[in-house]
Structure 1
């Protein structure tokens, strides 16, 4: 068997409801800022996590004609990551592209159907290339002029994490030296909001502005705030990064996946704990080595309880002292991009020794009884290893483990 190679994160790009790039996003999360607010679309009557930056800036109108908003956000995050990575053209040509998305170019699809029925004016847009789920991966690969593989994963809310995990495996096992991997989502339309309302998983708007909409693990939680965003990570073998003088942000050291096999909507603690255990085994880690869990925690009544139970199964008595937090109170639930954004935040948390808080947390649920890092970020100077949980509708679970890279902290 070929010896497994170490894989490191050398660059990150993000666009989220709290930041136009990775640094802004992480800083905003650590400062406890919330990006969930009223939508500029008057047809959306719930608070959402809306990306405010112009993700089409600098692009020719002819390009935009065939790109849905999800592709524009993916490209925005990829461009930042690639600029930070400073790869040579020869490396870009061999860079794999791995993208996760829950639904792809659904905004364009909704608009095209409405235009067909005369509900909205027709707009000059090439519907098929804009709506195909692999459009973000295809456009990023074309920007890189990459002849390596360009893959797309649509595993609902775990899609971004799965894309990163599959890229990790390709590099670890010697198929690639470098890849860009992540997730993107853009589904903030009145039609899609109505569809989510059918499932009764969206949070109610707060009675006052300072209470927050999405409140993971909290006694009065009512669901999640739908959001959009993207995150892209440049992954390299440690040897490849060292040869070109790149400084790692963190080491991506483990990836575990599982399927619940139980219900299309209700999560299962057995499946979630299995993914966490497989991730730790893949990384050669014991539960006692993990110093932080970035939870999937969407803010639904059942989901947060099940994830808490799954964490307890894996970590046992250690769970009581284990910091666990969710960033969905700050940015909302970005569906297919969630696993990528949360993985990026986890990698940066390991690099900096500080973890983001769970905003708007209120104790009182006896089944949510862990240390959820309420309200304020926490300095963890001894943090060496962290995991990021991503659990998708349909039962797909993916967990990523990050370890401090040598020399990133004193």
Structure 2
């Protein structure tokens, strides 16, 4: 069966540097950083918090059933659907594909603490709020969708996997339109303490100008936890053009792999395999790729492994290939990270702008590529870019985007 072309016709971003798609993208290009002290919680470290009332205009009974992760997903989905402007009939045929690393863990933790009288009880229905598929179900109900609503929990690659699986459904003829992405919110003391056990969180710097997360840098020391969401409306090109929609970018490839080696330590062979599978899926050769939005969390091992994987796939082209990470600006959103970074990559090919790697400090001989340090880079000729997402447990997902002309 002939593969169908798939395009992005709506984007929604909810991030610590911007509550709308263009606001977040503009802030990233301006080099803004959203890693700050939480305004209400004493977390002992700076995080990527979204300071907004996500329940505004919602009935209290509905709010009782929603974890903050679901509220973030809904906020991003509302933006994406608004831009795509699907009819009611088209919405009922829209598939929903959603990724999250942990789901409604904040509500779950709160319910346990309340049960043990450690915190006051709050009027919330914990079971529907904590279900990992809660956000997908809510979005599907909003659309009155009779298609499918799927949830993926592949750690830090979950949002990218959701987008990739939606892409496959459209490309292979199962659907004509879908909304896909991811969300995460885990900024509570007990969950942060659990992450501290893994020794992957960066210590708060004495000088905020040095940044909490410094991807690919000589003195990188881990990442800052963050919350956020991104959703995108995908359509077959024929469906989009038939209804007069304007494509933002084309999604042209998707590659996945599993390291099969270690629950925590990444492996360059598995990462390289996902990148190569993405290129093969898109019918691309390495020289055609003009930018990589890296997973790059700012951990010592992770950034070195990803650099090695890029060199393995791209060979000599890696030396002239811009590679940047937005985690210095927005932190690590876990299950939402791949979706947010995919959305930024789609906008990069549309607008010919590459986000900088904030707080980058050269000097590591194992991280010696062009990491777009400090300032955004305008590349009017940018036509193809890939977005890397590598999850704990070894799940790797890579998406390729092409400029739509």
How far off its partner does 1:70 sit? 0.2
SS in 1 for 2:271: helix
1:30 counterpart = 2:57? no
How far off its partner does 1:43 sit? 3.0
SS in 2 for 1:49: coil
How far off its partner does 1:52 sit? 1.4
SS in 2 for 1:210: helix
**Structure 1 residues 182-218: Cα deviation after superposition (integer angstroms, max 9, x where no partner):** 0000000001000000000000111112111100001
Q: Residues 196-275 of structure 1: matches in 2 within 5 Å?
A: 196-275=195-274
How far off its partner does 1:42 sit? 3.0
1:391 counterpart = 2:390? yes
**What's 2:338 paired with?**
339
1:10 counterpart = 2:9? yes
**What's 2:121 paired with?**
122
1:305 counterpart = 2:329? no
How far off its partner does 1:354 sit? 0.7
**What's 1:361 paired with?**
360
**What's 1:91 paired with?**
90
Q: Residues 23-102 of structure 1: matches in 2 within 5 Å?
A: 23-102=22-101
Counterpart Cα distance in 2 of 1:42 and 1:134: 27
**What's 2:319 paired with?**
320
Counterpart Cα distance in 1 of 2:76 and 2:400: 22
**Structure 1 residues 324-378: Cα deviation after superposition (integer angstroms, max 9, x where no partner):** 0000000000000000000000000000001000000000111000000000000
Counterpart Cα distance in 2 of 1:154 and 1:294: 21
How far off its partner does 1:39 sit? 1.1
Q: Residues 161-180 of structure 1: matches in 2 within 5 Å?
A: 161-180=160-179
**Structure 1 residues 128-159: Cα deviation after superposition (integer angstroms, max 9, x where no partner):** 00000000000000000001000000000000
- Scaled by the length of structure 1, the TM-score of the pair is 0.98
Counterpart Cα distance in 1 of 2:334 and 2:122: 27
**Which sits farther off after the overlay, 260-269 or 50-59?**
50-59
**Structure 1 residues 34-92: Cα deviation after superposition (integer angstroms, max 9, x where no partner):** 00011124331111100112211111111000000000000000001101110000000
Counterpart Cα distance in 2 of 1:201 and 1:289: 34
Counterpart Cα distance in 2 of 1:59 and 1:310: 46
- Scaled by the length of structure 2, the TM-score of the pair is 0.99
SS in 2 for 1:390: strand
Counterpart Cα distance in 1 of 2:101 and 2:114: 24
**What's 2:189 paired with?**
190
Counterpart Cα distance in 2 of 1:133 and 1:346: 26
Counterpart Cα distance in 1 of 2:203 and 2:291: 29
SS in 1 for 2:208: coil
Counterpart Cα distance in 2 of 1:178 and 1:54: 30
Q: C-alpha root-mean-square deviation of aligned residues, in Å?
A: 0.5
Counterpart Cα distance in 2 of 1:37 and 1:336: 20
Counterpart Cα distance in 1 of 2:40 and 2:191: 13
Segments of 5+ residues of structure 1 without an aligned counterpart are none
SS in 2 for 1:37: coil
1:181 counterpart = 2:180? yes
**Structure 1 residues 22-42: Cα deviation after superposition (integer angstroms, max 9, x where no partner):** 111100000000000111243
**What's 2:146 paired with?**
147
Counterpart Cα distance in 2 of 1:312 and 1:55: 42
Runs of 4+ deviating beyond 3 Å: none
